[in-house]
Amino acid sequence: MQLQDILYSQGFGTRRVCAGLVQQGHVSVAGEVATDASLDLPVQGFQFRVDGVDWPYQEKAYLMLHKPAGTECSRKPGTYPSIYTLLPAPLRQRPQKGATQGVQAVGRLDQDTTGLLLLTDDGQFIHRMSSPKHHVPKVYEARVRHAIEPRQIERLLAGVVLDDDPKPVRAAACEALGEHLLQLTLTEGKYHQVKRMIAAVSNRVEGLHRARIGGLVLPADLAPGQWRWLSAADLAGLKAVQPESA
């Protein structure tokens, strides 16, 4: 693939802009400043540098972000800053089918909810992680106002009815981590589901954090607002989730 096409595919602008980056000496390959935008290069394992920042070639982008409180999972936020402002421009500009779309969040977290958020430009991956048919477990830690009672955990495991759905929804797992700290595992994602489930058992969420998706745990060294590429092991563990048997 030509160097200018590689840069284009990774979100560095139009092919003309990418050719200009090379011609102006902004791009390095194998430690040397590149001078030929039409240079053919193998993309497997390819890495390059733009303005001193290293970039690995990724046919599809798969990221994890530690979402901080006070951010919205929207490109057009209403009140709070968008999570997309936490990402470098190339990730927001990656082209898809000839249009600049960038990576997208896999599901959403409320503005006041923190924790693990996946982002990608792979539509099939988004569907696989988001569809209730695949029952991908998501683990939340909820700090609640009132002391947790055993009967509340029992009801969350048995199922509670939310006001917009007569079918009960239940936690796949639920345990108290402290007097006011509850850990819930859900395999579907309804609007404000954790908050509404806990309200249904006469308690109130005062802080919510997503700690895990499938087998992927939010790394302790990934600070709020930081992101990183998913490793091959991370990705394999997420993709290994199987759909429910018929």
Task: Return phi, psi of residue 140, to 5°.
Answer: -120, 150
Give catalytic status of residue 234 as yes or no: no
Is residue 86 within 8 Å of residue 48, measured between CB atoms? Answer: no
Residue from 228, 231, 238 nearest 66 by CA: 228
- Helix, coil or strand: residue 50: strand
> In degrees, to the nearest 5, what angle opens at C-alpha 121 toward C-alphas 117 and 124?
90
DSSP string, 136-168: --EEEEEEESSPP-HHHHHHHHH-EEETTEEEE
Is residue 193 within 8 Å of residue 169, measured between CB atoms? Answer: yes
The distance of Cα 168 from the centroid of its chain, to the nearest Å, equals: 27
Task: Return phi, psi of residue 166, to 5°.
Answer: -70, -15
75 secondary structure, DSSP code? S
**CA–CA separation, 232 and 68 (whole Å):** 25
**CA–CA separation, 53 and 174 (whole Å):** 43
Which residue has tokens 């709070």?
80
The distance of Cα 32 from the centroid of its chain, to the nearest Å, equals: 34
Catalytic member of 110, 121, 164, 234:
110
Residues with a catalytic annotation lie at: 110
